[in-house]
């Protein structure tokens, strides 16, 4: 978002999205979700997430961003699949605009948990096009056309717009994406949910840049991915130390393990697993301090 007013970093309360493929128990990430329904996604920087600190406490991220003259550019989530997600595809910006949407949806997945043998589907097998996909949806065989990629903890996967993809059970993923929920469902294993086959076939691409991304060691952190819409870095801070974390664009910090605090001009904010601290101004530094060790990611929308 384009900020006209200086605003200190603030904490957000996760918003839990009910999904048929989700879980009833999200421990150890969350003790309670506030619902008895299956939860598939914890939105950490969703437009409806409530601010928990500072002068905007109780307001939604969307309303705060609007006051500042824009929209928060990244939607960060944690996904908790207990069953297969539908096979789906997202448009790129140009395709989305042509279809009357605000923007496309390019995303990435960072693997937080993975059972032995866990896989995700990322892209189509060579030679597969719209005709083959349409026929496989009709025959119920679409899974056979997908490239299934084994995953383990610490893997980062780029999900380029236009990539046909799906997520299976046995993983927990941190997803960083454009702030968009434009999803075209191609195939859903016979579940009685709406498909968007016509639009999906229009925007799917037989070949994209999707795939695993090798981490890069930087000065004091690990760069997990660097793309047009987002940069995601992982930090590990040992016990009783502090680290200055720079932002060159609006973004957030998301706690993964351990605990720490983010020092701001207005005081200190807790940095704990599964919760986001938003840094709305992308032209400065924050200091993260820990007494017992903490790991976290920095998600930034490049300016």
* Tokens standing for residue 298: 């920095």
Q: Answer for the pair 123, 146: CB distance below 8 angstroms, yes or no.
A: yes
Distance CA 270, CA 11 (A): 8
CA–CA distance from 227 to each of 232, 297, 300 (Å)?
9, 16, 10
- Other C-beta atoms closer than 10 Å to the C-beta of 55 total 11
Query: How many residues make up the chain in this entry?
Result: 303
Cα–Cα dist 212/10, whole Å: 32
> Among 19, 103, 185, 275, which one carries the catalytic annotation?
185
Cα 166 to chain centroid, rounded: 14
Dihedral, CA of residue 34, residue 39, residue 41 and residue 45, to nearest 10: -10
Strand-pairing partners, residue 268, are: 263
90 annotated ligand binder: yes
Rounded Cα gap, residues 26 and 38, in angstroms: 10
- Whether residue 194 is annotated as binding a ligand: the answer is no
What is the Cα 121 distance to its own chain's centre?
Answer: 17
Q: What is the C-alpha separation between 260 and 243, in angstroms, rounded?
A: 11
- Answer left, alpha or beta for residue 297, where phi above 0 means left and psi between -120 and 50 means alpha: beta
Q: Is 196 annotated as a binding residue?
A: no
- Residue 43: half-sphere exposure toward Cβ, Cα within 13 Å: 21
Decide if 185 is catalytic: yes
d(CA 118, CA 258): 25
Identify the bridge partners of residue 18 per DSSP, sorted by sequence position: 39
Question: Residue ranges for the binding site for Zn(2+)?
Answer: 90, 107, 165
Return the active site residues.
Answer: 185
Question: Residue ranges for the binding site?
Answer: 90, 107, 165
């Amino acid at each position: 978002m384009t900020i006209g007013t200086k605003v200190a970093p603030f904490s957000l309360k996760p918003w839990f999205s009910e999904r048929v493929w989700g879980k009833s128990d999200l421990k150890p990430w969350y003790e309670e979700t506030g619902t008895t329904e299956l939860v598939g996604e914890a939105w950490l920087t969703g437009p409806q997430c409530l601010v928990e600190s500072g002068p905007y406490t109780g307001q939604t991220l969307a309303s705060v961003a609007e006051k500042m003259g824009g929209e928060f550019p990244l939607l960060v989530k944690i996904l908790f699949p207990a069953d297969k997600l539908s096979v789906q595809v997202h448009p790129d910006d140009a395709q989305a605009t042509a279809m009357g949407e605000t923007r496309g949806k390019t995303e990435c997945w960072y693997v937080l948990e993975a059972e032995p043998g866990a896989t995700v589907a990322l892209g189509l097998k060579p030679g597969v096009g719209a005709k083959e996909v349409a026929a496989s949806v009709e025959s119920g065989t679409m899974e056979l056309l997908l490239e299934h990629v084994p995953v383990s903890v610490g893997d980062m996967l780029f999900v380029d717009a236009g990539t046909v993809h799906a997520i299976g059970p046995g993983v927990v993923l941190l997803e960083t994406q454009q702030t968009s929920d434009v999803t075209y469902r191609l195939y859903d294993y016979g579940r009685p949910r709406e498909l968007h086959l016509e639009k999906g076939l229009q925007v799917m691409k037989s070949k994209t840049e999707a795939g695993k991304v090798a981490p890069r060691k930087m000065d004091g952190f690990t760069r997990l991915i660097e793309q047009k819409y987002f940069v995601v870095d992982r930090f590990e801070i040992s016990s009783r130390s502090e680290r200055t974390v720079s932002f060159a664009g609006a973004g957030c910090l998301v706690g993964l393990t351990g605990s720490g605090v983010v020092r701001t001009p207005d005081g200190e904010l807790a940095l704990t697993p599964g919760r986001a601290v938003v840094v709305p101004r992308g032209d400065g530094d924050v200091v993260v301090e820990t007494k017992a060790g903490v790991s976290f990611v920095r998600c930034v929308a490049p300016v």
